Structure 1
Amino acid sequence: MLTRKQLELLDFIKTRMDRDGVPPSFDEMKEALDLKSKSGIHRLITALEERGFIRRLAHRARALEIVKLPEAMEKPGFTPRVIAGSKVDAPKAALPVQALVDAMELPVMGRIAAGVPIEAIAEVSHHIAVPGSMLSGRGHHYALEVKGDSMIEAGINDGDIVVIREQSTADNGDIVVALVEEQEATLKRFRRKGGMIALEAANPAYETRLFPDHAVRVQGRLVGLIRTY
């Protein structure tokens, strides 16, 4: 089963290849799916490749090959459409679409340290079903497996799965995925102090770490947690 965004991307690639004979660029895919960064497209393509729907061809730029299509797309008369730039605001009383579905599959993008920062991981390891009500807003979401115990007083334990909304800003007190000096990723509470960023643990055994503003890049904000007993 494909997520809505995965299906939209696959249909967009097929439409462009049928029309032009070549796949669209990552910038064109990002614009068509109304994503803020190309990293979201990379994750969608990786997910489609892992599921056997597309294949990336080595040593060729923009080289994608469609291997198969979902059954629904192969049925006569079914023509899914991707419409770029035509979103309208939902009525104020309307619930987000994510809250109305039972579950949505999210990519698990490896492990995130809740302790001393570890090397950032940006590869899909597997997928996990997440209740739609857990997803926050319209943005792109992904999941990470927690490694370490520095956030235990915030209720986040080693081995938990955290659900992250992809965003580049944070308010003081938010628990975020922070990329430190473009090399290490960690899950911590975010606080801005003048020209410095404090990454605070929720465990007295760990000290708060201070970094210059330019050394920390927010990758997303915690919106949910899944625990397996």
Structure 2
Amino acid sequence: MLTRKQLDLLKFIHGRISVDGVSPSFDEMKSALNLRSKSGIHRLITALEERGFIRRLAHRARAIEVIKLPEGMEQAGAAAPNVIRHDFRPRPEPAAVIDNAAGSVPLIGRIAAGTPIEALQHTVDHVTVPRAMLSPRAEHYALEVKGDSMLDAGIHEGDIVVVRRQDEAKDGDIVVALVEDQEATLKTLRRKGPVVELIAANPAYKTQSYDARSVKIQGRMVGLIRTY
């Protein structure tokens, strides 16, 4: 039996993973549950883990996997893990395991989670992703992450990020930003008047500041795929 706060937190984590592909931060959990400190979140997370509802993945930021849901929630759909294990080596797949709940998006190159690198390339492959990551009537694409500046957001080098193509985003969104029409980077967006800041999630990297006119939003990250 879960307490009301434990159930509320489990619902919040499950909902964010289903939409964004990654679990929320402790600050986001604290705000969602109207708690005054992160210590309360730590206690709730520990309780959920001890009861077998979630699992924390070691040495990774924002890496919580929902293992099961209470009986009432299970009827609404199975838990969606924040880390999606997928092998991208080409191989035939039996028709019996093809899932119409999965979609395909183009993999269009690499994106820098560090110093900006060359602009996005043409389609080099396609990857299969859960349809829960994809918004109806929206265009999506995938990029392989190069660099480690988004580690604290749970984004590692070699990960595949799923991006919804859009030219607008809110402060706090993780975006694909094209700088001066030449270099693309994956960062958290923040605007300060005429200045756009592209913020890393790794203290080893400084925030990059640009004239807003030199930065174009190419999309918002909506999911993450990791191979093992």
Q: Under a length normalisation based on structure 1, what TM-score does the superposition of the two structures give?
A: 0.56
- Matching residue's letter, 1:221: R
- Asked which structure has the greater RCO (Cα within 8 Å, sep 6+), the reply is 2
Contact (CA 8 Å) 1:104, 1:129: kept in 2 or not?
A: yes
SS at match of 2:108: strand
- The aligned runs of 1:126-165 (5 Å cut-off) are 126-165=125-164
2:215 paired with 1:216: yes
SS at match of 2:190: strand
Distance between the aligned counterparts of 2:177 and 2:122, measured in 1?
17
Long gaps (5+) in structure 2: 1-98
CA offsets per residue over residues 83-127 of structure 1, 9 Å max, x none?
Answer: xxxxxxxxxxxxxxxxx9411111100000000000112211111
- The aligned runs of 1:1-229 (5 Å cut-off) are 101-229=100-228
CA offsets per residue over residues 177-203 of structure 1, 9 Å max, x none?
Answer: 000000000000000101100000000
Distance between the aligned counterparts of 1:146 and 1:195, measured in 2?
28
SS at match of 2:201: coil
Distance between the aligned counterparts of 2:197 and 2:149, measured in 1?
15
- Matching residue's letter, 2:166: Q
Counting aligned pairs with the same residue, the percent is: 61
1:134 Cα deviation after fit: 1.2
1:227 Cα deviation after fit: 0.3
Distance between the aligned counterparts of 2:212 and 2:127, measured in 1?
33
Contact (CA 8 Å) 1:136, 1:223: kept in 2 or not?
A: no
Q: Corresponding residue for 1:22? A: none
Please provide the CA RMSD for this pair. Answer: 1.2
Distance between the aligned counterparts of 1:138 and 1:202, measured in 2?
31
Long gaps (5+) in structure 1: 1-99
Q: Structure 1 runs of 4+ off > 4 angstroms?
A: none
Q: Under a length normalisation based on structure 2, what TM-score does the superposition of the two structures give?
A: 0.56
1:206 Cα deviation after fit: 0.1
Distance between the aligned counterparts of 1:203 and 1:140, measured in 2?
29
SS at match of 2:213: helix
1:138 Cα deviation after fit: 2.4
**Largest Rg, 1 or 2:** 1
1:137 Cα deviation after fit: 4.2
1:148 Cα deviation after fit: 0.3
Contact (CA 8 Å) 1:175, 1:190: kept in 2 or not?
A: yes
Q: Label 1:137 to 1:193 Cα distance change in 2 as closer, same or farther (>3 A).
A: farther
